[in-house]
Structure 1
Amino acid sequence: MVQRQLKDRPHPEHGYRSCLGLLNLSRRYSRDRLEQACARALSINSASYQSITLILKQGLDQLPLPLAEEESELADLPVHTNVRGPRYYH
């Protein structure tokens, strides 16, 4: 998450404040919860300090990660040779 915070900004110095915020969250929440919240934020492509704090406050870090869209779409499809899936149409 820290690498993403520093990489996404035009100047790495702009990401320092977010990184400090993440360090402060480690004082209030356990390392495991913070790691899970960061993983969830990265999986939904919302790697911001605010997203992570909301995930932690709402306890979403303790829920299983959602399946990727493609995996969940394919899970709903019937198994048949004529069903091609979404990749066929790209």
Structure 2
Amino acid sequence: MFPLDAENKTMVTSTNRLIDKVKEVIQFESGVFIAIRKDKKINWETDFLPVTEEDEGLQHPFADIEIRAFDYSYFEISGMDFEVEKKILKHLE
């Protein structure tokens, strides 16, 4: 649903680009969305990117939140900050 590069992957490297891209999508089949503080500099290893079918918990050491979308039917959110968890839960109730 997003344009793919030569390795058949799509990387969105800014929040604004992600917001623009997801507005074009009705529903995700699968994917991992990683939220990392803007002040962190990340050198992504494209051979070891997070995957949807992984064990529970955060896959990236700098992640504050990870959202995994599965087969159009559900998603799961992982994180370590209980204040953020409360804010998310408030919107899902």
TM-score, normalised relative to structure 1:
0.24
* Rg larger in structure: 1
Quick check: which one's helix share is greater?
1
Higher relative contact order by CA 8 Å / sep ≥ 6: 1 or 2? Answer: 2
TM-score, normalised relative to structure 2:
0.23
